[in-house]
């Protein structure tokens, strides 16, 4: 079986690429598992190369490992989606690394030997399409979409993470504090199209997420009920609450216990769905997909059950 590690040299503030590459080569040789290393050259290059390699395999089994953050994994999944003979893994060297948090039963995702000896299982993906980044796109999201406050936080955290000594989780919390001062929401129209069309949002909210997995922002458990293999995505909507309510609920939101708060039913809407349509009430909005942000207009979401094999490292 062919193993390829797609290493993003810019992940984790650009540290440790040489050491990781050496570890991959030494470990694969010791285990007798042939492996190659590809250093990505910029945004979109990992997806391009993964697609090229998946096509060239002509059905032969292979494993593609994304070595980077959630954005790198998103690229490799989009390159490998539609090729059932290709399983995708993740060696988390980014600053957020939220996708792998959905698998507490797995071994160490940073252990190369455990990865090469891991087992693959099917997970769902969210297919989304629409005018995104100024052009029509159809892509896949593995973990979560964030819109509104959460998206603004991710954008600011991305800038903060480039500064020395600021980790992904610290950057997210600093960004939350910064955005709390502004507390800018978003005006959206959201329609659930699972069976009968149902308008579930029409107006101003603090934030909205469409979740396949549970985590965002470097470990914030914003959608604790979401599962990556249940055949649904989870829509989460939080009303534009006063600052004091936000401050009181944020620690619970971080830990994933906010749905048990007494006021949750009045300010939080949670709905399972398999298809939905999201559009801004005016102009465009920013859509954050697996930590990557682009301006969007109308976007359609649909669950793709068991869309890709995801490698869980051996314990």
* Inside any domain, residue 106: no
- Sequence-ordered list of residues with C-beta below 8 angstroms from that of 166, at least 6 positions apart, any chain: 160, 174
Same domain, 88 and 132: no
Same domain, 137 and 210: yes
Per-residue pLDDT of the chain (315 residues; tens, 9 = 90+): 999 999 999 886 667 899 999 999 999 999 999 999 999 999 999 999 999 999 999 999 999 999 999 999 999 999 999 999 999 999 999 878 999 999 999 999 999 999 999 999 999 999 999 999 999 999 999 999 999 887 877 777 777 777 776 766 677 678 777 766 666 778 999 999 987 788 999 999 989 999 999 999 889 999 999 999 999 999 999 998 888 888 888 899 999 999 999 988 899 999 999 999 999 998 999 999 998 999 999 999 999 999 999 999 999
CATH of the domain at 54: 3.40.50.10330
Helix axes 168-182, 243-255, angle to 10 degrees: 160
pLDDT of residue 243: 81
Burial class (CB in 10 A: 0-12, 13-18, 19+), 226: buried
**Distance separating alpha carbons of residues 243 and 299, to the nearest angstrom:** 30
Same domain, 227 and 297: yes
Same domain, 166 and 269: yes
Burial class (CB in 10 A: 0-12, 13-18, 19+), 60: exposed
CATH of the domain at 278: 2.60.200.40
pLDDT of residue 169: 67
Same domain, 76 and 148: no
Number of domains in the chain: 2
Same domain, 194 and 73: no
Same domain, 164 and 262: yes
* Inside any domain, residue 101: no
Same domain, 174 and 82: no
* Inside any domain, residue 66: yes
**Distance separating alpha carbons of residues 225 and 15, to the nearest angstrom:** 34
Three-state SS at 202 = strand
DSSP state of 43: T
Boundary of a domain, candidates 46, 76, 94 = 94
Same domain, 150 and 59: no
Helix axes 168-182, 149-160, angle to 10 degrees: 130
* Inside any domain, residue 109: no
Boundary of a domain, candidates 46, 73, 94 = 94
* Inside any domain, residue 113: no
Range of the domain at 239: 127-306
Same domain, 78 and 139: no
Q: Within a 10 A sphere around the Cβ of 34, how many other Cβ atoms?
A: 11
């Amino acid at each position: 079986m062919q193993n390829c590690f797609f290493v993003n040299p810019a992940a984790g503030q650009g540290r440790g690429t040489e050491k990781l590459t050496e570890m991959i080569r030494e470990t694969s040789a010791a285990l007798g598992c042939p492996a190659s290393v590809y250093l990505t050259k910029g945004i979109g290059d990992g997806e391009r190369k993964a697609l090229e390699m998946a096509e060239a395999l002509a059905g032969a089994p292979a494993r593609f490992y994304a070595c980077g953050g959630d954005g790198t994994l998103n690229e490799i999944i989009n390159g490998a989606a539609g090729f059932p003979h290709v399983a995708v893994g993740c060696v988390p060297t980014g600053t957020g690394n939220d996708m792998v948090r959905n698998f507490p039963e797995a071994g160490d995702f940073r252990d190369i030997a455990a990865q090469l000896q891991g087992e693959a299982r099917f997970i769902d993906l969210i297919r989304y399409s629409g005018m995104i980044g100024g052009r029509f796109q159809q892509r896949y999201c593995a973990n979560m979409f964030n819109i509104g406050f959460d998206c603004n936080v991710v954008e600011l955290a991305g800038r903060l993470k480039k500064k020395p000594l600021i980790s992904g989780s610290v950057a997210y919390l600093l960004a939350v504090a910064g955005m709390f001062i502004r507390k800018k929401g978003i005006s959206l129209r959201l329609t659930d199209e699972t069976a009968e069309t149902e308008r579930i949002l029409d107006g101003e909210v603090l934030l909205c997420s469409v979740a396949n997995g549970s985590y965002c922002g470097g470990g914030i458990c914003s959608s604790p009920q979401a599962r990556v293999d249940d055949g649904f995505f989870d829509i989460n909507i939080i009303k534009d609450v006063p600052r004091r309510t936000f401050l009181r609920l944020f620690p619970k939101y971080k830990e994933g216990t906010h749905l048990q708060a007494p006021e949750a039913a009045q300010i939080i809407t949670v709905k399972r769905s398999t298809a939905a349509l999201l559009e801004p009430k005016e102009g465009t909005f920013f859509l954050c997909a697996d930590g990557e942000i682009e301006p969007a207009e109308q976007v359609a979401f649909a669950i793709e059950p068991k869309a890709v094999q995801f490698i869980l490292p051996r314990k």
